[in-house]
Structure formats: structure tokens, C-alpha cells
Amino acid sequence: MAKQEKVGINVKKNDNLSEWYQQLVLKAELAEYSPVKGFMVIRPRGYYIWERIQDDLNKRISKKGVDNAYFPLLIPESFFKKEAKHAKGFKPEVAWVANREEERLAIRPTSETIMYDSYSRWIRSWRDLPLRINQWCNVIRWETKATRLFLRTREFLWQEGHCVYETKKGCDKETMGYLEDYEKLCKELLCLPVIKGKKSESEKFAGAYYTLTIESIMPDGKSLQCGTSHNLGQGFAESFGINFLDRNEKKALPWQNSWGISTRLIGALSMVHGDDKGLVLPPKIVKNKVVVVPIIFDKEKEKVLVEAKKIVKSLKKCNAILDDREGYSAGWKFNEWELKGIPIRIEIGPKDLVNKEVILVRRDNGKKEGIKIKDLSKKIDEELNNMQKDLYENAKKLMDEKIVSVGEFKELEKAINDKKVGKTGFCGDVKCESKFDPLNAKVLCIDFKENKCKCVVCGKETNNLAYIGKSY
């Protein structure tokens, strides 16, 4: 008889979110710490989610004419230096390769510089534009803050799209378009509601003209940046000598953007949807959507097992698995599959056989229902669809509750102390922005819609309605 260690997370989500999250990721086998400080191993259950994110985004961007490619891991130091603000922004985080070539080689923290070197050779004429390229790869940024699996690690996986346009207008439009793709991916695939907006000047990407962002609000009221899309302006083009003959045969500088999402999303969705029992996952990103647990007593064992196997076979399309392990109680098995976030559990015992039915249990809301076996396949499709919808709706409600409109600075202070995000006017001035530091808060983003309001710090009239809060 196998040991039946207690499975599950031994701290409540509401009591200690940080410890709960760490146990969740480790015990649900999404990832583990690597022996090298700051690095992580993405285990199959976590990587499967990443592959679904890749498939989903690839479909969206390929429709927009984006091609995937791959650029070198190592970047010459001189490339970084070409765009001054960019170089400064990444300098502390770069890992270098030990004395292999005369020039120092960086392990990419991002690929603008190495890609734009190629672009300067590939682009000659307006006919070559827009150029839209994306790569899926690993990047290294030598974080000094404490590691948090998926949320802050020295290596992570991401995609970085890098496009070049004839005009500012074309660039603006598509910079927004990719952000909207991210928003849709978060909603439709990951059931993750986000707020979107523009970063303030001090929060924008190193070297960018402006940065757009989607942010997800975690249960502790802290915001997690989930994806960004930068209009890079013409600065990189100038530094890297990217220019083209325009429609009037004149030499011109193009406009560029870059946009990225990363494995961080796996952390975001786990933290938002999970509960005290473990992972709760949107059905679309789970390989085995159903687990069948036969409730076995010695007498009727064979009959129950035969029926359970038949059911598993009939549910091939949702990759149903059978848990017929001996030496584990049914309750222990329930706990394990709840921990791992299998969306639907089917229980079948001798009594159910007589009634030709099974018990169906939904992971997200625990709803139990007796279902006739003949209706099972249809019912499961329905419940998986409902679960995908419900997860988003519930998360959206929770997020909305965490955002409060405030007018006075004191109100903002209270909101942040209450683990909420304040929505309020912000004039854009760096001096005013610095007043959020003592609250450990910052401007998460500025709403795209213009709203006449007053700056929460200086009281000046402004059109910027900003989200202000703590962040990961």
C-alpha cells in the first residue's frame, strides 16, 4: 500500500497570498526552483499552458501578417550602446559571456538591438514595409530582488514582436492592435480580465516613444504587468541606420514598435483563479480536462472499472484520464486532482451503475450533479464552456471591486492601504508622480479615454485618468 501523504496547500489564499502562491506553483507541479539562484524549471503542467498561449497568439498575429523568426542569443556590447536610453535601462541586468571574443557579448535581455542590425540590411524601400517579425525565445535579466516563480526570475520565456512602418500613423495603429490581441488572449484563453492604458513617461520602456500596457490586478490589490506594446518612434531606426526610399524616392526614417508577453502570464492566471484547494484553470489551457475516479468496493470492483474505462474512452476528445490507482482513497484522489486543477471530476460507484449515471463535479465552484451516462459527453462540453465563461466573469467582478474612483490624495492613500487600486486624475508631472512613492505605489497606466478631471496631487486640470496602485 502506497503512502498517502497529505496533499494540498497548507495556508489559505486570504491569509498569506505569497506563501499560498509559492506552494500552489510547486505542489501543482507548474514549476520548481532551479539549483541556480533566480532560475526556474517549467514543468510539463506549466509548459503546456505556455504552448497554448503560443498557439493562440501565433494565430492572432499570423492573420496580421507577422512572421516568426529567430535571432542570436548573444549580442555585441557595441549594439547596446547605439541607443543610449535603451543601454542605460538594461545595463544593470545584463549577463555577459566570459572572454570568448574580443568584444563583450551579452546574453539577450531583449532583442531590439540585434534585430534592428538585420533590419538595417533588409529594408531598402517602402515596398519592404511594413516588416512584421516575431520571435519566441528565452531572455536573461539578472534580477536582484527575490525570485518568485513565473513572476520574477532571471530567465523567462517570452515572445517579442518587432515591426517597422512607413508612417507614425501605421505604427500607432498596430501598436494598439497588438495590445488588443493581448487583451483578447487574456480574456478568451486565460479568463484573465485586465485594465489597459499608457505608461507614464517615467514608466515607459527604455528607448520607447510611448508604452502601452495591460495590467491584471491580483487578489492583494497589487498590479501585475501582463503585456506591453511600445511605439519606439524613430530613435532605434536612427541609431541602427534603418532607412528606406519612400514613395517619392526620398530617403526616410521608418517608425517601429515592439511588443511582448511572457511566461509571467502563467503566474498571473494561477494567482487570480486558484483557491485554497489548489489550481483552478480555464479548461482551454488544460490537457486532461476530465478525471474519472471509480469509487471501488471489493464486491463490485470489476463492474465499476469496466464502466469507468468505457466512459474514459468515450471522452477521448477532452483527454479524460482514469485514476484507478490502488492504495489511495477516493478522497485523497479528489484532493490531488483539485490541487492540479483538472476542470471536471467524474465519480462512479456501484450505486451509480444501477441508475446508469455518474456524479459530475466542477473544479471552480464545486457544483455536484448526477448525470445520466448517455448525456455525459454533451454535459461535459457545456460545463467546460460554462466554466470558461464563469472564470472570466468572476475574476472580472473581483477586479472591478478592487478599483475605486478617488478624488483627493487622502482617498487614494486609503484605497491603497485597503489593498485597492485608485482611479484618479494625474497631470503627468514627474514631481506629482514622486508623491506616490511613499505609498509604495505608482502609476500603473493612464486610461486611453480622455476624461476631464483634476490631478490627485496638484489639483491641476488634466485629461489623464490614471490607475495608481502597488505592483509586482
Residues that bind a second copy (CB under 8 A): 2, 32, 34-37, 39-44, 46-48, 50-51, 67-76, 79, 95-101, 105, 107, 114, 117-118, 121, 125, 127, 133, 137-138, 140, 142, 155, 157, 325
- Nearest distance, CB of residue 260 and a second copy, angstroms: 17
- With respect to a second copy, which residue has the nearer C-beta, 294 or 349? 294
Alpha carbon distances (Å) from 289 to 7, 152, 269, 366:
20, 29, 17, 15
- With respect to a second copy, which residue has the nearer C-beta, 11 or 74? 74
Under a CB-based contact definition with an 8 Å cutoff, are residues 356 and 374 in contact? yes
Torsion angle in degrees (nearest 10) through CA of 255, 245, 110, 204: -20
- Nearest distance, CB of residue 32 and a second copy, angstroms: 7
- Helix 44-63 vs helix 264-273: crossing angle, to nearest 10: 110
- Nearest distance, CB of residue 123 and a second copy, angstroms: 13
- With respect to a second copy, which residue has the nearer C-beta, 83 or 183? 83
- With respect to a second copy, which residue has the nearer C-beta, 41 or 84? 41
- Nearest distance, CB of residue 35 and a second copy, angstroms: 6
First to last CA, the chain: 44
- Nearest distance, CB of residue 142 and a second copy, angstroms: 6
- Nearest distance, CB of residue 42 and a second copy, angstroms: 4
Following DSSP, what letter does each residue of 365-430 receive, concatenated?
A: T--EEEEEGGGHHHHHHHHHHHHHHHHHHHHHHHHHHHEEE--SHHHHHHHHHTT-EEEEE----H
What sign for the dihedral angle of Cα 390, 393, 399, 402? negative
Residues 6+ positions from 378 with CB-CB distance below 8 Å: none
DSSP run (H or E) holding 208: none
Instruction: Report the distance separating Cα 24 and Cα 219, nearest Å.
Output: 15
Instruction: Report the distance separating Cα 156 and Cα 149, nearest Å.
Output: 10
- Nearest distance, CB of residue 107 and a second copy, angstroms: 7
- Helix 376-402 vs helix 301-314: crossing angle, to nearest 10: 70
- Nearest distance, CB of residue 101 and a second copy, angstroms: 6
- With respect to a second copy, which residue has the nearer C-beta, 15 or 103? 103
Rg over alpha carbons for the chain, rounded to the nearest Å, is 25
Residues 6+ positions from 84 with CB-CB distance below 8 Å: none
- With respect to a second copy, which residue has the nearer C-beta, 17 or 261? 261
- With respect to a second copy, which residue has the nearer C-beta, 137 or 398? 137
- With respect to a second copy, which residue has the nearer C-beta, 32 or 400? 32
The C-alpha cell at 177 is 492592435
- With respect to a second copy, which residue has the nearer C-beta, 133 or 191? 133
- Nearest distance, CB of residue 232 and a second copy, angstroms: 20
